[in-house]
A and B are shown apart, each in its own frame.
Chain A
């Protein structure tokens, strides 16, 4: 955990939201200083990292000046007043473009703000810009962006993970204080693990999806990506809750998520499912997570072995359900009303065909075709319907596990960050990077990723804490207790920036 006592010696951009809040409110630091510091980091490092697609420099600085005035006047401040936030570019914003890193939406300006953006803005947040992602959030490395490949701040030859790779890299490189990502099969947690930061995929229905450009509607959730667990809790308190514009958002009260952060692990039962430690896991990842589990035991938790027997079906089920929904969700990008339209069409059908052929990247087209196939007459029962039935089994697996434990501790990604280009030719290999994260989406349960060590090469390794639906308080409590007692100190990525001219 970051010691606030040392904060004066660190750059403002390296601080957390909860630290900054205190410093700004007590007048020790202005919001303008913080926002300037963030943009300085971006100017220094983003040419190499390429985390951002667009920057909101002017409006961010205007916003910061406004916050400083409010503080000076002694006005009441919002829960996120003056905190710099980066937004994954599949979240709709009136400001700038919303492209989903796709040629299809290059130049598209959304006519409204996503509910999460609205809630953060109402709480006083300052938006820094829009971050890179795999096109339409389809990928695990951010290499599927139509515009740029984001590098991992820990090793610029490696991927930051995906699809929220831009947000993860920006947080890790102190190019923002916090960020929002979206998670359909691990897209918050896997990049968080690969970039050494914290990320939370909330329970399905906890956070409104209104304004999140849909990939797979029954799996997508928006969540925070931050430098520590307390910031996850702060952000969750702001963005959670029922939204009348999203029928799938739940009518479950939103607690103060930060209220459980100082509790310990005494009396808690933590489950370790053997299916997550078997074939395919990197030895260093396994050791690192097991060491973390030992720390938790030392902190008073009871460790129990549990089983999630259907885990092995996760990837096939996920790629049927997600792609089927995606095939319908992405049908609207047809060149008729907005976004890209192929210039040389001769009639409506050829306009559709040419627009889709040249507007979408290879991975998006692959998934649309897989999804269309899975829904086709004669195949629906064997694929989509069957996959939905297996989803019920996943939920049951988790219910059974949570009957004997409060939370599960598992790895996030089977390996640390892999090299850029390493898996681009082999989609199946790429899909396997989501093997430990997919189940939480299929079952709709909350899952938190956080650092639990470093590989010998100095790459971050992450673990996951998973609880039952709406058990965000539990995952945050476990994560926070571990964070205080993890027994190693957090490192910073070894960046050697070139000052932009």
Chain B
């Protein structure tokens, strides 16, 4: 039986975080009432002309630089012609043969080893409106608020060989875009959309098989699942002697299947030609130089720096830097005096757990990084135990108050007074003759029970090490 390998390429569209649209001054804010953010230009009224938003160009160039692309010195915009009610001019201003940037790569990490995925191009275009179909109505409606929002298209080479690689690519790309702050990459609000194309070929073959394109995927996990399904579907077709038809397929999240949307025969002839209403985009070295200086530290570099600067394990650095906001939080915490490894443990562990449970993210977290640092200090100097710290942390998370306040008000300071602990221990020894007896007969494990009783009696505030030490002495 022939063994097949998958060949996967991804096309990602992201809405850019400019305040105004790509070719007019309308706001790009999400969620406004339908058709409240429109003007004659983005509505394609007769006689209007587009004016290019140069910040959108800058964002594309930033992304191109971050993806190791070459920046075109001379680029242009083109008209892509097709009819659809959400496209008021019935052509989309896009880029055809001279994209702003092309020919780069993105590094992904799979099972501990790094792999380069080629970036074919990153170009600028405009988003469309949205068709709405009121239930039961004999008409449709169009909301043009989104129409003309700058959209960046990032096309990869068909360099991925598994759905996991595709997933890693998307995660890594999203992370970079968030670092660049060019998009909020919010898939639910549609500011990041991914389409995959996939084909199979016998292992060892260097030719590509016929590919299908998968649309309508709403999450990165969805991309992975859709690819898994589609690869298996293609494998079955090929194994039973069939042929793959080049077509666009829709992913059905609920049913977990792809189904045909349109075949190549009905494919559009977009009749691209240069947009005559705009002048060519000239990007000189000085402009690229200025943009380069504006580039923030990217995830990969930051990961390496965190390892070198704070001595934390590479794994920790990778988890922390996946999101810029998390990494910023972590570093803020360390800068406020927290032990790097302790801070890493808390940010990756308890904090992520609480955030996930509350369904929120770190940018809306009530605990300030300096508060977490202060709490870690309290553990370090013995004011509270690690166990009590969890209680304090939860309250900090809920109320946003400082750890010192919480500890003081609730009397959570650790008991470190030997005499105070000694008197509690005396009582525990007196009340529990049987475990004491078995300990003394050599069953040293019984001490755990006695420690537990001391902690219970002190409501967890006794210093556990001290309890162990004093207890051992008294039981001799």
A and B pair up? yes
| A→B interface (CB under 8 Å) | 90-92, 98, 100, 105, 108, 110-112, 114, 209-214, 216-218, 244-248, 324-325, 327-328, 331-332, 334, 336-338, 348, 352, 372, 375-377, 380, 384
A/B interface sample: 8 pairs, CB < 8 A: A108-B46, A325-B273, A331-B83, A332-B89, A338-B45, A348-B85, A375-B271, A380-B272
The docked-state distance in angstroms from the alpha carbon of A216 to that of B273 is 13
Instruction: Please state if B46 and A100 are interface contacts (CB–CB under 8 Å).
Output: yes
- Chain A residues with CB below 8 A from B142, complex form: 336-337
Instruction: Please state if B46 and A98 are interface contacts (CB–CB under 8 Å).
Output: yes
The docked-state distance in angstroms from the alpha carbon of A247 to that of B140 is 35
Instruction: Please state if B79 and A328 are interface contacts (CB–CB under 8 Å).
Output: yes
Of the listed stretches B172-180, B275-283, B324-332, B415-423, chain A binds B275-283
B51 close to A (CB within 8 Å): yes
B88 close to A (CB within 8 Å): yes
- In B43-60, the 8 Å CB interface with A consists of 43-52
Are A244 and B51 CB-contacts (below 8 A) given A331-B89, A336-B85? yes
Measured CB to CB, the nearest residue on chain A to B269 is: A377
Measured CB to CB, the nearest residue on chain A to B144 is: A337
Are A337 and B49 CB-contacts (below 8 A) given A217-B276, A248-B279? no
- Chain A residues with CB below 8 A from B263, complex form: none
Q: B47 contacts which of A110, A216, A328, A334 (Cβ < 8 Å)?
A: A110
Measured CB to CB, the nearest residue on chain A to B277 is: A217
Instruction: Please state if B46 and A324 are interface contacts (CB–CB under 8 Å).
Output: no
- In B63-113, the 8 Å CB interface with A consists of 79, 81, 83, 85, 88-91
Are A331 and B81 CB-contacts (below 8 A) given A247-B278, A377-B271? yes
The docked-state distance in angstroms from the alpha carbon of A372 to that of B269 is 10
Instruction: Please state if A248 and B47 are interface contacts (CB–CB under 8 Å).
Output: no
Task: Tell me how far the C-beta of B278 lies from the nearest C-beta in chain A, rounded to whole angstroms.
Answer: 5
Task: Tell me how far the C-beta of B192 lies from the nearest C-beta in chain A, rounded to whole angstroms.
Answer: 28
B382 close to A (CB within 8 Å): no
Instruction: Please state if B90 and A332 are interface contacts (CB–CB under 8 Å).
Output: yes
Task: Tell me how far the C-beta of A338 lies from the nearest C-beta in chain B, rounded to whole angstroms.
Answer: 7
- Chain A residues with CB below 8 A from B50, complex form: 247
Q: B45 contacts which of A110, A217, A247, A328 (Cβ < 8 Å)?
A: A110
Task: Tell me how far the C-beta of A365 lies from the nearest C-beta in chain B, rounded to whole angstroms.
Answer: 16
B40 close to A (CB within 8 Å): yes
| B→A interface (CB under 8 Å) | 40, 43-52, 79, 81, 83, 85, 88-91, 140, 142, 269, 271-273, 276-279
Instruction: Please state if B269 and A114 are interface contacts (CB–CB under 8 Å).
Output: no
- Chain A residues with CB below 8 A from B272, complex form: 375, 380
Instruction: Please state if A332 and B44 are interface contacts (CB–CB under 8 Å).
Output: yes
Task: Tell me how far the C-beta of B290 lies from the nearest C-beta in chain A, rounded to whole angstroms.
Answer: 22
Measured CB to CB, the nearest residue on chain B to A208 is: B49
Task: Tell me how far the C-beta of A443 lies from the nearest C-beta in chain B, rounded to whole angstroms.
Answer: 15
The docked-state distance in angstroms from the alpha carbon of A100 to that of B43 is 19
- Chain B residues with CB below 8 A from A384, complex form: 273
| Residues of A contacting B: mostly | loop
Number of A-B contacts (CB under 8 A): 98
Measured CB to CB, the nearest residue on chain A to B90 is: A331
Measured CB to CB, the nearest residue on chain B to A321 is: B276
- Chain A residues with CB below 8 A from B83, complex form: 331, 334, 352
Instruction: Please state if A332 and B279 are interface contacts (CB–CB under 8 Å).
Output: no
The docked-state distance in angstroms from the alpha carbon of A105 to that of B88 is 15
Are A325 and B276 CB-contacts (below 8 A) given A111-B40, A331-B83, A331-B91? yes
Closest 4 CB pairs of A and B: A331-B90, A217-B276, A375-B271, A218-B276
Measured CB to CB, the nearest residue on chain A to B86 is: A336
Are A214 and B47 CB-contacts (below 8 A) given A328-B81, A328-B91, A331-B90? yes
Measured CB to CB, the nearest residue on chain A to B131 is: A348
The docked-state distance in angstroms from the alpha carbon of A334 to that of B44 is 11
Are A372 and B271 CB-contacts (below 8 A) given A105-B46, A328-B81? yes
Task: Tell me how far the C-beta of B433 lies from the nearest C-beta in chain A, rounded to whole angstroms.
Answer: 88
- Chain A residues with CB below 8 A from B51, complex form: 244-245, 247
Instruction: Please state if A110 and B46 are interface contacts (CB–CB under 8 Å).
Output: yes
Instruction: Please state if B49 and A209 are interface contacts (CB–CB under 8 Å).
Output: yes
- Chain A residues with CB below 8 A from B140, complex form: 348
- Chain B residues with CB below 8 A from A348, complex form: 85, 140
Task: Tell me how far the C-beta of B50 lies from the nearest C-beta in chain A, rounded to whole angstroms.
Answer: 7
Measured CB to CB, the nearest residue on chain A to B80 is: A328
Task: Tell me how far the C-beta of A230 lies from the nearest C-beta in chain B, rounded to whole angstroms.
Answer: 29
The docked-state distance in angstroms from the alpha carbon of A327 to that of B79 is 11
Q: B269 contacts which of A216, A248, A376 (Cβ < 8 Å)?
A: A376
Instruction: Please state if B271 and A213 are interface contacts (CB–CB under 8 Å).
Output: no
The docked-state distance in angstroms from the alpha carbon of A247 to that of B93 is 14
The docked-state distance in angstroms from the alpha carbon of A328 to that of B276 is 11
Instruction: Please state if A247 and B49 are interface contacts (CB–CB under 8 Å).
Output: yes
Measured CB to CB, the nearest residue on chain A to B278 is: A247
The docked-state distance in angstroms from the alpha carbon of A344 to that of B448 is 86
Chain A CB within 10 A, most for which of B40, B50, B276: B276
The docked-state distance in angstroms from the alpha carbon of A375 to that of B50 is 22
- Chain A residues with CB below 8 A from B273, complex form: 324-325, 328, 375, 380, 384
Measured CB to CB, the nearest residue on chain B to A205 is: B279
Q: A245 contacts which of B46, B49, B81 (Cβ < 8 Å)?
A: B49
Instruction: Please state if A375 and B81 are interface contacts (CB–CB under 8 Å).
Output: yes
Chain A CB within 10 A, most for which of B45, B91, B142, B272: B45
Task: Tell me how far the C-beta of A95 lies from the nearest C-beta in chain B, rounded to whole angstroms.
Answer: 15
The docked-state distance in angstroms from the alpha carbon of A376 to that of B272 is 8
- Chain B residues with CB below 8 A from A375, complex form: 81, 271-273
Task: Tell me how far the C-beta of B364 lies from the nearest C-beta in chain A, rounded to whole angstroms.
Answer: 39
A sample of 10 more A-B contacts (CB under 8 A), given A331-B91, A334-B85, A380-B271, is: A90-B47, A100-B46, A108-B46, A218-B276, A247-B51, A247-B279, A328-B81, A328-B89, A337-B43, A337-B44
Instruction: Please state if B47 and A210 are interface contacts (CB–CB under 8 Å).
Output: yes
Instruction: Please state if B47 and A92 are interface contacts (CB–CB under 8 Å).
Output: yes
- Chain A residues with CB below 8 A from B271, complex form: 327-328, 372, 375-377, 380
- Chain B residues with CB below 8 A from A245, complex form: 49, 51
Instruction: Please state if B88 and A337 are interface contacts (CB–CB under 8 Å).
Output: yes
The docked-state distance in angstroms from the alpha carbon of A218 to that of B76 is 15
Task: Tell me how far the C-beta of B48 lies from the nearest C-beta in chain A, rounded to whole angstroms.
Answer: 7
Instruction: Please state if B47 and A212 are interface contacts (CB–CB under 8 Å).
Output: yes
- Chain A residues with CB below 8 A from B40, complex form: 111-112
Task: Tell me how far the C-beta of B87 lies from the nearest C-beta in chain A, rounded to whole angstroms.
Answer: 9
The docked-state distance in angstroms from the alpha carbon of A110 to that of B41 is 12
- Chain B residues with CB below 8 A from A210, complex form: 47-49
Instruction: Please state if A213 and B277 are interface contacts (CB–CB under 8 Å).
Output: no
- Chain A residues with CB below 8 A from B279, complex form: 247-248
The docked-state distance in angstroms from the alpha carbon of A111 to that of B91 is 22
The docked-state distance in angstroms from the alpha carbon of A210 to that of B255 is 50
Measured CB to CB, the nearest residue on chain B to A136 is: B46
- Chain A residues with CB below 8 A from B79, complex form: 328
Are A332 and B46 CB-contacts (below 8 A) given A245-B51, A376-B271, A377-B269? yes
The docked-state distance in angstroms from the alpha carbon of A324 to that of B51 is 22
Task: Tell me how far the C-beta of A360 lies from the nearest C-beta in chain B, rounded to whole angstroms.
Answer: 14
Are A213 and B46 CB-contacts (below 8 A) given A218-B276, A375-B273, A376-B269? yes
The docked-state distance in angstroms from the alpha carbon of A95 to that of B394 is 66
The docked-state distance in angstroms from the alpha carbon of A248 to that of B51 is 9
- Chain B residues with CB below 8 A from A338, complex form: 45
- Chain A residues with CB below 8 A from B88, complex form: 332, 336-337
The docked-state distance in angstroms from the alpha carbon of A32 to that of B91 is 47
- Chain A residues with CB below 8 A from B90, complex form: 328, 331-332, 334
Measured CB to CB, the nearest residue on chain A to B83 is: A352
Task: Tell me how far the C-beta of A112 lies from the nearest C-beta in chain B, rounded to whole angstroms.
Answer: 6
